[in-house]
């Protein structure tokens, strides 16, 4: 992607290379003429060029331009359609639009292999061979089961860690951008926090009971392979959409999660998780009502970030936020000048949400965010 973009001649001297074969040769100056790997501005230059290209030529291919502008992450393009015929048209439009800038998309894959008929093998993504009947493709660090059109995880830690550095290194390999395994991630964060509280050095061999506890958790990680999460959020043909957000906290941490509720007239609704976030509780002791307020603030931040994006695809009729803390719900309804600074600052963020967002009470046993605020092992998450 980078190498398809030329730099203006006036800017090429910023990418100069001094070179000589030996100390006896004169210095030669080379200029790199294209966007170059390893430089801080290169990703921005590439993405900005792609967006400018879509804006300049989008009138000819509006659907393809919309995908380039809204569904592209660096050099990954994610798109879809309701029918196979529409999908083929979008693919051809993307190819034609990108060709105007001398970009050539490759590594195509689809949940319907028939859509990709006619492509040369070199233009297709290579599937992993762990399951030939249902190949897994890496999309932004997640695994996509193309045939099932679902997400899964294949996270296995390497050799058992026996130091704080080793455990942190293992936890860092967990990549979960949507929070689909948020309860497991919080469990890891809480374990790491306990090591901090105990003041172990980075490379100090940990006590045998801690190593064994971590090893048991590590051995349970392959269970995540059995976790299958449908990619499609809505029920096909749905005409009514709602967003439901849940927040909760415990002494371990706090969490927030967004769900999409889609339904047809007079039929059972379909509910899908959109995204979830977790935070461990601070090392300094914080009262539970304040942690509940932090969870509500996290939910408000999720809505501010993702509600505008969701409304580009769905006509959202109602937005509900649910908390099992009556204290938090009473704080939200008060003017901020009557509250202490810690509470007032967070209530201000919550009250800045749109006026049509409705806050309601939910029983603790019915709170969807509860597992993520307490943490679960992979085995427990499957249930």
271 CB neighbour count, 10 Å cutoff? 15
Kind and range of the H or E run holding 381: helix 378-382
Residue 156 and residue 77 in one domain: no
pLDDT at position 134: 66
Residue 212 and residue 120 in one domain: no
pLDDT at position 160: 73
Residue 270 and residue 307 in one domain: yes
Q: Which of 110, 126, 142 is the last residue of a domain?
A: 126
Residue 138 and residue 247 in one domain: yes
pLDDT at position 248: 97
**Which percentage of the chain shows pLDDT scores above 90?**
69
DSSP per position, 170-224: HHTT---TT-TTHHHHHHHHHHHHHHHHTT--TTSPPPHHHHHHHHHHHHTGGGG
Q: How many domains does the chain have?
A: 2
pLDDT tens by residue, 231-250: 999 988 888 999 999 999 99
Residue 112 and residue 167 in one domain: no
CA dihedral 113, 118, 122, 127 (to 10 degrees): 10
Q: Which of 106, 126, 146 is the last residue of a domain?
A: 126
Residue 77 and residue 146 in one domain: no
Q: Which of 364, 363, 326, 333 is nearest to 347 (CA)?
A: 333
Q: With contact defined as beta carbons under 8 Å apart, do 34 and 2 qualify?
A: yes
- Could you give the angle at the alpha carbon of 64 between the alpha carbons of 59 and 67, nearest 5°? 120
Residue 220 and residue 299 in one domain: yes
Per-residue pLDDT of the chain (383 residues; tens, 9 = 90+): 899 999 999 999 999 999 999 999 999 999 999 999 989 999 999 999 999 999 999 999 999 999 999 888 888 898 888 899 999 999 999 999 999 999 999 989 888 888 888 888 888 886 655 566 667 777 766 788 888 889 988 777 776 788 999 999 888 888 898 999 999 999 999 999 999 999 999 999 999 999 999 999 988 888 988 899 999 999 888 889 999 999 999 999 999 999 999 998 878 899 999 999 999 999 898 999 999 999 999 999 999 999 999 998 899 999 999 999 999 999 999 999 999 999 999 999 999 998 889 999 999 999 999 999 999 999 999 88
Residue 156 and residue 269 in one domain: yes
Q: Which of 155, 90, 137, 92 is nearest to 118 (CA)?
A: 92
Domain that holds residue 88: 1-126
pLDDT at position 201: 93
Task: Report the alpha-carbon distance of residue 36 to residue 43 in Å, rounded.
Answer: 9
Q: Which of 107, 126, 145 is the last residue of a domain?
A: 126
pLDDT at position 267: 80
Residue 174 and residue 292 in one domain: yes
Residue 98 and residue 160 in one domain: no
The neighbouring-strand residues paired with 361 are 323
Residue 362 and residue 238 in one domain: yes
58 CB neighbour count, 10 Å cutoff? 16
Question: What is each CA distance from 204 to 81, 172, 195, 339, in whole angstroms?
Answer: 54, 19, 11, 45
pLDDT at position 148: 87
pLDDT at position 210: 93
Residue 173 and residue 212 in one domain: yes
């Amino acid at each position: 992607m980078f190498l398809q973009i030329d730099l203006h001649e006036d800017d090429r001297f910023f990418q100069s290379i001094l070179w000589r074969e030996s100390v006896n040769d004169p210095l030669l100056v080379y200029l790199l003429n294209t966007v170059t790997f390893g430089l801080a501005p290169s990703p921005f230059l590439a993405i900005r060029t792609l967006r400018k290209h879509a804006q300049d030529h989008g009138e000819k291919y509006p659907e393809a331009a919309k995908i380039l502008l809204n569904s592209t992450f660096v050099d990954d393009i994610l798109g879809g359609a309701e029918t196979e015929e529409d999908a083929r048209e979008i693919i051809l439009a993307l190819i034609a639009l990108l060709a105007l800038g001398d970009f050539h998309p490759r590594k195509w894959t689809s949940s319907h292999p028939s859509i990709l008929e006619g492509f040369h093998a070199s233009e297709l993504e290579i599937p992993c061979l762990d399951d030939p009947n249902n190949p897994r493709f890496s999309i932004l660090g997640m695994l996509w089961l193309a045939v099932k059109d679902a997400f899964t995880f294949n996270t296995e830690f390497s050799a058992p860690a026996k130091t704080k550095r080793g455990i942190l290194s293992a936890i860092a390999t967990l990549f979960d951008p949507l929070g689909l395994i948020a309860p497991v991630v919080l469990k890891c964060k809480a374990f790491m926090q306990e090591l901090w509280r105990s003041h172990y050095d980075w490379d100090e061999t940990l006590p045998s009971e801690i190593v064994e506890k971590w090893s048991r958790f590590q051995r349970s990680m392959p269970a995540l392979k059995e976790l299958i999460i449908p990619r499609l959020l809505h029920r096909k043909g749905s005409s009514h959409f709602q967003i439901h957000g849940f927040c909760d906290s415990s002494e371990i941490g706090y969490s927030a999660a967004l769900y999409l509720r889609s339904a047809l007239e007079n039929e059972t609704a379909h509910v899908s998780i959109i995204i979830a976030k977790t935070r461990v509780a601070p090392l300094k002791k914080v009262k539970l009502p304040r942690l509940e307020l932090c969870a509500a603030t996290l939910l408000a931040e999720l809505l501010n970030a993702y509600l505008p994006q969701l409304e580009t695809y769905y006509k959202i009729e109602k937005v509900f936020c649910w908390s099992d803390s009556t204290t938090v719900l009473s704080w939200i309804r008060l003017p901020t000048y009557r509250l202490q600074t810690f509470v007032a600052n967070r209530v201000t963020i919550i009250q800045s949400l749109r006026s049509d967002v409705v806050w309601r009470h939910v029983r603790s046993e019915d709170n969807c965010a509860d597992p993520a605020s307490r943490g679960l092992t992979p085995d427990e998450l499957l249930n």
